[in-house]
């Protein structure tokens, strides 16, 4: 069965620290990859996406992610986090003609000033 694993359920960082959130998926075919963010009390917003091409993709707010096909991974990174990055982050894999999304369990990030 298809699945998405996010290794860190809860991450606590100080401002200016670097961030890396792991995401691995299991699916044998072609996938589209996404990272979504959910700020407290708000709806899901797209951070970045990968469909094809350059495996290093840049998103909004200084986030980037790297697709490593051989490792079935799509890790999210940010060199220096801010307090406003406190949110829940979801990795998602899209498959099939309608791009149905399978979400990881999410990672709660808390950034302390």
Nearer to other proteins, 2 or 77 (CB): 2
Binding-site member from 59, 106, 109, 111 for other proteins (CB under 8 A): 106
The CA distance from 68 to 6, in Å, is 15
Contacts of 106 (CB under 8 A, 6+ apart): 6, 9, 38, 88, 89, 90
Binding-site member from 3, 82, 99, 112 for other proteins (CB under 8 A): 99
Nearer to other proteins, 56 or 105 (CB): 105
**Chain residues 19-78 in contact with other proteins, contact rule CB under 8 A:** 32, 36, 42-46, 49, 51
Q: Beta strand 32-38 with 73-78: parallel, antiparallel or unpaired?
A: unpaired
Nearer to other proteins, 52 or 70 (CB): 52
The CA distance from 14 to 82, in Å, is 8
């Amino acid at each position: 069965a298809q699945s998405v694993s996010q290794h860190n359920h809860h991450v606590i960082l100080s401002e200016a620290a670097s961030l890396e959130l792991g995401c691995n998926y299991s699916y044998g075919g072609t996938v589209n990859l996404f990272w979504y963010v959910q700020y407290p009390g708000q709806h899901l917003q797209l951070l970045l996406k990968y469909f094809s091409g350059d495996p290093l993709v840049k998103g909004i707010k200084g986030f980037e992610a790297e697709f490593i096909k051989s490792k079935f991974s799509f890790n999210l990174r940010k060199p220096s986090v801010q307090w406003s990055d406190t949110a829940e982050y979801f990795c998602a894999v899209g498959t099939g003609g309608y791009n149905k999304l399978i979400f990881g369990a999410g990672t709660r990030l808390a950034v302390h000033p």
